[in-house]
Structure 1
């Protein structure tokens, strides 16, 4: 007498074989390169703006000095109305980096900025908003909250074309 498990094994093998042959049955993951996916995750508009660090020195320094508070807000952020990414294209590594006064404050708050970047990387909304614009975590200079639902990210990077 045959073991009933043999019949079951043959049925599973046949189903797997047929499933592999039918391309319509293949499962496809939703790519994070798809703008619709990013929009669904972020759920808010992402605006880009290019400014010079030298013309926004005071505001950027104030945002750097508030890095611990910003990190705490990033950790609690689960919904945003708007994400503004401010590209400081004059401050990229290729252009010599941040202006001296900003660089000095950033160096003084190095650990706090590292913690802030780690929080941004751990926040799906902000991470995908920033990553969708090809900004690396190391290029984040500061994060500023106009209010708990409007976020401004300063990045020493150039916008992609």
Structure 2
């Protein structure tokens, strides 16, 4: 196992590279979608959900995965919980909608997943995984901070993107 430290735009990242043995996983590259000094946030009725973290393409014995490692914190005077939605987009998709029939769309939403909901006032790490399209070779992660409002649509922040620029 190797630990590589990579600096990107003044941000230090630690990447763990595992050997190619049975069951081992290799990261193509960890890429932050936001940092602790500039987290993504959404406020609704006094509750704010904050998130920052990393995204990677993870190679496993069962196939390539999109792996998000968001950290989530909720300030909740109104009592709502918060969670993070991760959407994995790939450069391969089905052309059902008319805007996709020309194949001018570079990325297609492939799968989405929500983290477990939390009301922790300190950052909690929540892992998310989705599959990657076997017919594609590039992917990116898109993250949203979301306030869990019971019996109503959950308000979401704008998107934060993460992209390695390397094929999987």
TM-score with structure 2 setting the length: 0.23
Q: When you count helix as a share of all residues, which structure comes out higher? A: 1
Larger relative contact order (CA 8 Å, sep ≥ 6)? 1
TM-score with structure 1 setting the length: 0.24
Q: When you count strand as a share of all residues, which structure comes out higher? A: 2
- Which has the larger Rg? 1
